[in-house]
Amino acid sequence: MWVVGLGNPGRRYAGTRHNVGHALVGSLVERWRAEPWARERTFHAYRATVGPAGAVTLIAPQAYMNRSGEALAAFSAVTGERPAPARTLVACDDVYLPAGALRLRSRGSTGGHRGLASVQEFFGTPEYPRLRLGVGQAPGEELVEHVLSGFDEHDEQCVREALERAADAVETWLREGILAAMNRFNRRVREVGP
């Protein structure tokens, strides 16, 4: 099984809305006490494994978001391992969901998300599970500026709590499958003022 968390590489983007996929896989490394992240320059990704014989592989592509699929292709070319779409959960940000909301799907469109579009091109199919983490809409600012910005205090708290739930959702997906995870975690977030 594979969990791929999308984001942009480098310190400049750490903590931005676009990098919640990276934040999720990083939190899973800590939660599961997985082997430490290994920076794999040959395929532009961080990788960690956990469980007997590396039962779960966590990947944080270190190519820019819109080239995430290229990092997975390089990973496959270097290691000889190809993540199977149905056995790979891809986590990314979603600006159309309120900060802190989670949405799991077993398949679907990219919804205009360039990271998902790149991954879908690599897989050659939309038939792969994905976990979208809400980072809030961009009120009155450009979308690019919004996703590359940090969180305000309220949204940061919502997303921090959502990352815990998202880690629980990943564990449910691994144990019980995507439908069980969808039923348990696809709930609306109650809007609370700052």
Choice among 87-91, 115-119, 152-156 with the minimum mean pLDDT: 152-156
Q: Residue range 43-70: average pLDDT?
A: 87
Is 50 exceeded by the pLDDT of residue 191?
no
The answer to whether 18 is a known catalytic residue is: yes
pLDDT digits (tens, 9 = 90+) for 130-167: 999 988 776 656 766 766 777 678 778 888 899 999 99
- Beta strand residue intervals within the chain, DSSP E: 2-5, 38-40, 45-50, 56-61, 88-94, 102-105, 130-134
The pLDDT of residue 179: 95
Which CATH architecture group holds 2-185? 3-Layer(aba) Sandwich (3.40)
The answer to whether 134 and 102 have CB atoms below 8 angstroms apart is: yes
| Domain boundaries, given as residue ranges, for the chain | 2-185
Choosing from 18, 22, 113, 146, the catalytic residue is 18
